[in-house]
């Protein structure tokens, strides 16, 4: 991200709408608007429906800077609230994507009723305050014009509806599909998956096959031509509202529950005794409390036990879990608790989200987004070092790299004789991990910082470390 002489840092993922652009200055998140977008914004800001969305927290906090700063080339500048942690849709669980889709449609329905619409329908228009979705693309709102369809329908299908259909009807995790293409799943791909009797699955005939056929038929027509055809056919705002209602009804029906998972009951079936678990909880509580408010990453969060402990002291906690079913169960629990400090994400830490989109920076990598004050790596290192054959030194390099200088790393080392480590080693050739030893692990830790506390769990085969990084 280039930084100008005035301290302005342009957001590399904000360029597709030339009428407005996100940039950062002095820690603030700002949006520059051209003349037309500024007029649209002022009409929007004067509307009752938008004020209601702001008051209920469904749209990110936004205000116009008056007067407009003279050192930026925009007709108007908005200041937005800062989202605690930016995530991408392919890091969300199924229920998260579904709730994001429903919020998008709720906001669009309110906009249409008030004479507005949105320019697009991308899943990337939403972020999270803990387990609550929030719409962030304020620059997407514009006055609705009679006879024109919702411009965001295709994006909504490709980045929200199609991934939901894929998992609800076929049982396929949607995350790899969204991660592989920034624009989402194309109708042509979906038609191949929903052929034969699958055409009759809820949503497939209308939003996959009919949508794809219309795209093919109008492939050579301009947007102006298509709009003229729809106006001539009697397309109206009332039809647009009915379409949004139909989409919302469909999405609500797609309340898919992921299947059983090996990790779903890990806290009960793992090797921890009650004294082990109590010691571990006290260690985490004390370490996060000593660091103070800030951002905590809980890597390998499972059911969120330690994320909840961290949230007692932290401003925000990002709970990363590889298993989509476990992450989905955690999200649903946090949502029901109205938790606003813990954000669950789906991610394989041996294959974390890379940079994506244009020039690989339009969507920032997980490593570029994660600058945590505390990194929790509990019962994780052995899964990466033994289970995924990642050198121990590399594992620690990654854990330290996700935090900040002077921050805290809380890490657990599982000895080779531990039952879980033995189970992992049983599937590996003898002698493959000669460096997987406590002495080597501690020596590597001291390269990265100062070990301020270490505690052996009562079982005797696991040890916890609190490290001040760079200290």
Residue 354 sits in the same domain as residue 412: yes
Residue 130 sits in the same domain as residue 209: yes
In a domain, 259, yes or no: no
Residue 338 sits in the same domain as residue 202: no
CA dihedral 227, 229, 235, 236 (to 10 degrees): 40
Q: How far apart are CA 64 and CA 78, in angstroms?
A: 4
Domain boundary among 80, 98, 132: 80
In a domain, 2, yes or no: no
Residue 55 sits in the same domain as residue 134: no
Specify burial of residue 273 (Cβ count, 10 A radius: 0-12, 13-18, 19+): exposed
Q: How far apart are CA 125 and CA 123, in angstroms?
A: 5
Contact between 99 and 254 under an 8 Å Cβ cutoff? The reply is no
Residue 343 sits in the same domain as residue 415: yes
pLDDT of residue 3: 46
Q: With residue 118 as reference, give the H or E element that holds it.
A: strand 116-118
Which two tokens mark 326?
């476990």
Q: How far apart are CA 295 and CA 269, in angstroms?
A: 30
| Coil vs helix vs strand at 302 | coil
In a domain, 4, yes or no: no
| Coil vs helix vs strand at 159 | helix
In a domain, 261, yes or no: no
Contact between 441 and 392 under an 8 Å Cβ cutoff? The reply is yes
Residue 204 sits in the same domain as residue 290: no
In a domain, 447, yes or no: yes
Nearby residues of 373 by Cβ (< 8 Å), 6 or more positions away: 291, 292, 294, 295, 296, 314, 403, 404, 407, 408
- Total count of domains within the chain: 3
In a domain, 310, yes or no: yes
User: What CATH number does residue 406 fall under?
Assistant: 3.40.50.150
Residue 455 sits in the same domain as residue 308: yes
Contact between 465 and 451 under an 8 Å Cβ cutoff? The reply is yes
Residue 366 sits in the same domain as residue 221: no
Domain boundary among 40, 61, 80: 80
Q: How far apart are CA 172 and CA 347, in angstroms?
A: 16
Integer-rounded Cα Rg, in Å, for the chain is 24
Contact between 236 and 242 under an 8 Å Cβ cutoff? The reply is no
pLDDT tens-digit profile of 88-100?
999 999 999 999 9
Residue 283 sits in the same domain as residue 397: yes
Low-confidence ranges of the chain (pLDDT < 70): 1-6, 212-235, 259-271, 471
Which two tokens mark 166?
């894929």
DSSP assignments along 365-388, one per residue: -HHHH--EEEEEE-S-HHIIIIIS
pLDDT of residue 153: 93
Residue 309 sits in the same domain as residue 376: yes
pLDDT of residue 137: 96
Q: Is 78 left (phi over 0), alpha (psi -120 to 50) or beta?
A: beta
Residue 171 sits in the same domain as residue 218: yes
**Range of 22's domain?**
9-80
Strand partners for 410:
376, 466
Q: Which of 47, 77, 48 is nearest to 62 (CA)?
A: 77
Residue 168 sits in the same domain as residue 40: no
Domain boundary among 22, 51, 80: 80
Contact between 469 and 372 under an 8 Å Cβ cutoff? The reply is no
- Alpha helix ranges (H) inside 194-318: 204, 211-217, 223-232, 237-253, 266-269, 274-291, 305-310
DSSP assignments along 387-456, one per residue: IS---HHHHHHHHHHTEEEEEEEEEEEE-TTSHHHHHHHTTS-TTS-TT-SHHHHHHHHHHHEEEEEEEE
> What is the number of residues in the chain?
471
Q: Please, what's the b/e burial string for 152-187 (b: 16 or more CB within 10 A of its CB; e: otherwise)?
A: bbbbbbbbbbbbbbbbbbeeebbbebbbeebebbbb
pLDDT of residue 8: 83
In a domain, 47, yes or no: yes
User: CA separation (Å) from 106 to 130, 141, 200, 248, 443?
Assistant: 20, 14, 26, 8, 54
């Amino acid at each position: 991200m280039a930084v100008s002489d005035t301290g302005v840092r342009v957001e590399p993922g904000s360029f597709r709408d030339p009428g407005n652009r996100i940039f950062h200055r002095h820690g603030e998140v700002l949006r520059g608007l051209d003349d037309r977008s500024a007029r649209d914004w002022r009409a929007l800001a004067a509307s009752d429906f938008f004020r209601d969305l702001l008051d209920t927290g469904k749209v990110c906090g936004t205000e116009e800077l008056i007067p407009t700063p003279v050192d930026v080339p925009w007709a108007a500048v908005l200041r937005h609230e800062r989202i605690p942690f930016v995530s991408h849709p392919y890091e969300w669980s199924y229920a998260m994507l579904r709730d994001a889709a429903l919020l998008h449609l709720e906001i669009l329905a309110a906009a249409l009723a008030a004479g507005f619409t949105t320019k697009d329908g991308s899943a990337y228009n939403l972020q999270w305050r803990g387990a609550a979705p929030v719409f962030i693309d304020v620059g997407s709102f514009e006055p609705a014009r009679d006879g024109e369809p919702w411009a965001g329908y295709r994006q909504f299908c490709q980045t929200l509806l199609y991934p939901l259909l894929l998992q609800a009807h076929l049982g396929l995790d949607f995350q790899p599909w969204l991660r592989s293409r920034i624009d989402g799943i194309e109708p042509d791909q979906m038609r191949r998956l929903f052929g034969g009797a699958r055409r009759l699955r809820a949503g497939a005939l209308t939003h996959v096959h009919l949508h794809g056929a219309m795209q093919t038929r109008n492939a050579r027509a301009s947007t102006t031509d298509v709009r003229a055809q729809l106006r001539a056919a009697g397309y109206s705002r009332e039809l647009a509202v009915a379409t949004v209602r139909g989409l919302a009804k469909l999405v609500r029906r797609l309340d898919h529950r992921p299947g059983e998972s090996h990790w779903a009951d890990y806290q009960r079936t793992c090797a921890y005794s009650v004294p082990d678990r109590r010691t571990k909880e006290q260690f985490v509580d004390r370490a996060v409390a000593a660091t103070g408010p800030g951002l905590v990453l809980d890597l390998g969060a499972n059911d969120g036990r330690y994320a909840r402990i961290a949230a007692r002291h932290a401003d925000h906690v990002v709970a990363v879990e590889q298993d989509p079913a476990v992450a989905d169960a955690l999200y649903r629990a946090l949502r029901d608790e109205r938790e606003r400090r813990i954000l669950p994400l789906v991610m394989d830490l041996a294959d974390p989200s890379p940079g994506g989109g244009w020039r690989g920076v339009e969507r920032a990598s997980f490593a570029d987004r994660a600058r945590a004050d505390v990194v929790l790596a509990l019962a994780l290192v052995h899964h990466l070092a033994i289970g995924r054959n990642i050198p121990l030194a590399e594992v620690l390099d990654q854990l330290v790299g996700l935090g900040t200088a002077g921050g805290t790393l809380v890490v657990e080392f599982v000895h080779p004789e531990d039952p879980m480590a033995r189970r992992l080693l049983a599937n590996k050739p003898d002698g493959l991990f000669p460096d997987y030893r406590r002495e080597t692990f501690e020596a590597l830790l001291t390269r990265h910082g100062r070990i301020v506390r270490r505690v052996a769990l009562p079982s005797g085969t696991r040890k916890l470390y609190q490290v001040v990084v760079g200290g």
